[in-house]
Amino acid sequence: QVQLLETGGASVQTGGSLKLACVVSGYNFNWRYLAWFRQAPGKEREGVAVIWNSGSKTYGNFVNGRFIISQDNTDGKVTVNLVMNRLTPEDTGVYFCAATQRLSGWVLDQRQYTTWGQGTQVTVDS
The whole-angstrom separation of Cα 58 and Cα 102 is 15
∠53-54-55 over CA atoms, to 5°? 90
Kindly give the parts of the chain with pLDDT less than 50. none
What pLDDT score was predicted for residue 77? 87
Report the length, in residues, of the chain.
Answer: 126
What pLDDT score was predicted for residue 26? 87
**For the chain, first and last CA: distance in Å?**
40
